């Protein structure tokens, strides 16, 4: 499934495959989740995507409209996971660090 955002193609299937296999950067996760929120797909895919979208919205990373609210090129130190200090937020459904 490719979608256009402005003049840029968005390879959603590629993003999801990379996400599911753990081969995606935090920046690309934010881009993917932004797209899923904007299109409404975050709320129709498996529950993990909706829960993650809600965590990102509640955490102030992405707006309810899907706009990324942080500068993904220069994250604040406090945005890093307190356990491993290598990524923005926990990736697991139970809130545990992806590195655990």
Q: What are phi and psi of 54, to 5 degrees?
A: -65, -40
Per-residue model confidence as pLDDT tens digits over 18-56: 999 988 888 899 999 999 999 999 999 999 999 999 999
User: How far apart are the C-alpha atoms of 18 and 57, rounded to whole Å?
Assistant: 22
As separate numbers, helices (DSSP H) first and strands (DSSP E) second, the chain gives 3, 2
Does residue 23 or residue 79 have the better pLDDT?
A: 23
C-beta separation of 83 from 100 below 8 A: yes
Percent of residues, the chain, with pLDDT higher than 90:
47
Q: Which pLDDT belongs to residue 1? A: 45
Neighbours of 60 (CB within 10 A): 10
C-beta separation of 53 from 43 below 8 A: yes
Domain boundaries, the chain: 2-71
What single-letter DSSP state applies at residue 95? S
Measured in Å, how far apart are the chain's first and last C-alpha atoms?
32
Q: Which residues pair with 4 in a beta bridge?
A: 9
Does residue 100 or residue 51 have the better pLDDT?
A: 51
Does residue 75 or residue 83 have the better pLDDT?
A: 83
């Amino acid at each position: 499934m490719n979608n256009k955002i402005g003049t840029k193609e968005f390879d959603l299937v590629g993003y999801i495959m990379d996400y599911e296999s753990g081969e995606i950067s935090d920046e690309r996760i934010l881009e993917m989740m932004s797209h899923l929120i904007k299109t409404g797909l975050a709320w129709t895919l498996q529950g993990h995507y909706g829960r993650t979208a809600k965590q990102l919205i509640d955490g102030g990373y992405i707006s309810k409209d899907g706009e990324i609210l942080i500068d993904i090129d220069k994250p604040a130190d406090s945005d890093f996971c307190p356990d491993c200090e290598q990524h923005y937020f926990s990736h697991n459904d139970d809130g545990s660090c992806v590195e655990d």
